Each structure stands twice: as structure tokens, then as C-alpha cells.
Amino acid sequence: MKAVKKKPAKRAAKRPAPKKAAATPATRAATRPDVPLSRPIRVLVAKPGLDGHDRGAKVVAAALRDAGMEVIYTGLHQTPEMIVAAAVQEDVDVVGLSILSGAHMTLFPRVAALLKDAGRADVLVTGGGIIPKEDIASLGKQGVGKLFGPGTPTGDLIAYIRSWAQQHLRP
């Protein structure tokens, strides 16, 4: 019997490993905070004004809860005064407003001003809804935090709140 030499199998060219996205302060704080907080972040989610669509607010509230935050959902048709009273009573760190009615230029600054008047200027006011980019910039100049539009992954909001908490809350 004649020995047959086997040809070595051709190896496929090795593909380079995919590059990982650069870590940002928000993603680092969301995944591995340097100093863990000694308590959960407390978030109040509110629907101010006459807007009756709360599906998005409920999805956000559930995502924040699932991320380990304590969430208080106020429900529909809240006035800025009601929102601030609940925020002070519940001793929250963050107020998230969901506004689809177009009243964002009135409601965000009003809630922020009432929080300041109540001695709680330390509370982050953030939120989302149908808000034009130029209005987002204007609200940011007035001290409102990052605002999120429709379709934003809830992970982005969670990362933002965690990053803010790492910078502003005591461990």
C-alpha cells in the first residue's frame, strides 16, 4: 500500500477583532462606576399638562426600575406645582418629564424654577418628548439636563442618569 500525503488544509485569513467603541464617561458610569452609591438613585417620572399619552413614560419608568433605580410615577395631568411637591416629599434625585404636547418651553423651566424655590436646585430635571433641537439647546442654557427624543434607547437615558449621579450624588 502506498502512503498518500495529505495536503495541509488552507486556513482562512484571520479577521481582525471588531473594534470596541470608545468608553465615554456616561458608559463607564453606567457599567462600572468607580465609587458605587450607597443607595439607589431616586427618580420621579411625570406627565405634566394636558397630554394624555403616557405609554412612553411608563416604558421609561419600568426601564429605570429594572436598572435598579427607585421610581415614582405621578400619572397623567400633573401641574408643575404637583410635580415639585411630589419631588420634595419623595426626596428624589431626578425629575423626568415626558412632554408631547408642545408645552416644553413652559413646563421644563417652570418645574426647574419651582424646585429651586423649594430649595432643591440639586435635583436633575431631564426628560423627553417631541422637542425641536433649537428648543433643546435653549432649555439646556436654562439649566435643564439632557433631553431625549422618540426612539431613544432606554439604555441611553439610564447611562445619562447614572453618569450624572456619579458626579453629583454622594457615595
- Print the domain residue range for 122: 38-168
* Residue 147 within a domain: yes
Asked whether residue 141 is domain-assigned, the answer is: yes
Q: Is residue 1 part of a domain?
A: no
Query: Any idea what the CATH number is for the domain that residue 152 is in?
Result: 3.40.50.280
For residue 114, pLDDT beyond 70: yes
Task: Provide the percentage of residues in the chain whose pLDDT is more than 90.
Answer: 74
Write the DSSP string, 53-98.
Answer: --HHHHHHHHHHHHTT-EEEE--SSB-HHHHHHHHHHHT-SEEEEE
**Confidence at residue 10, expressed as pLDDT on a 0 to 100 scale:** 55
pLDDT digits 0-9 by tens, 12-47: 455 554 444 444 444 444 444 556 889 999 999 999
Q: How confident is the model at residue 8 (pLDDT cuts 50, 70, 90)?
A: low
Q: How many structural domains are present in the chain?
A: 1
Residue 79 in any domain: the answer is yes
- Measured distance CA(3)–CA(61) in Å, rounded: 71
Domain annotation covers residue 68: yes
- Tell the residue number behind the cell numbers 439604555, with chain if given: 155
pLDDT tens-digit series, residues 118-154: 999 999 999 999 999 999 999 999 999 999 999 999 9
- Residue type present at position 6: K
Looking at the domain assignment, is residue 17 inside a domain? no
**136 within a domain of the structure (yes/no):** yes
Q: Say if pTM beats, i.e. exceeds, 0.85.
A: no
